[in-house]
Amino acid sequence: MYEQNKVSFSLYGKSIQYPKFKELIFIGYTKGNSVKDVPSEVTNICNQYLKFEYGYNYKLAKKFIILQSAFDKLGISKEEILTSNPKGIYFGLLVINQKISCLEK
């Protein structure tokens, strides 16, 4: 028999479905770092700045990396700008019986 840990996140705060699973325990919230509320124009400006000043060439799909890199270079606090909705953190302990798993195969 071996144990396996499981960590899961709910997207919008505390989940309404996870409390139904007795194996999962709510342990808190993330800081809510997210780029979803940052306009694409800001991402484009940051990407152009990084390309011109440092030669970085990120794909625009890497929005979080672009903003994080530009803010680091400019000395801007990420926590003030990239804060959005905190996500719920859930932890669970799964126990799997190897003998039963082997017999079923």
Confidence band, pLDDT 50/70/90 cuts, at residue 52: very high
- Selected residue with higher pLDDT from 55 and 83: 55
Q: Which two tokens stand for residue 86?
A: 């905190």
Instruction: Inform me whether the pLDDT recorded for 96 exceeds 50.
Output: yes
The predicted model scores a pTM of 0.52
The domain spans of the chain are 1-30+86-105, 33-84
Residue 48 CA to residue 32 CA, distance in Å, equals: 26
Please name which of 15, 22, 38 lies closest in space to residue 93, comparing C-alpha atoms: 22
For the sheet containing 24-29, what is the strand order?
2-10, 88-96, 24-29
Per-residue pLDDT reduced to its tens digit, 11-45: 666 666 767 777 777 788 777 677 777 888 989 99
Q: Where do we find the tokens 């530009």?
A: 70
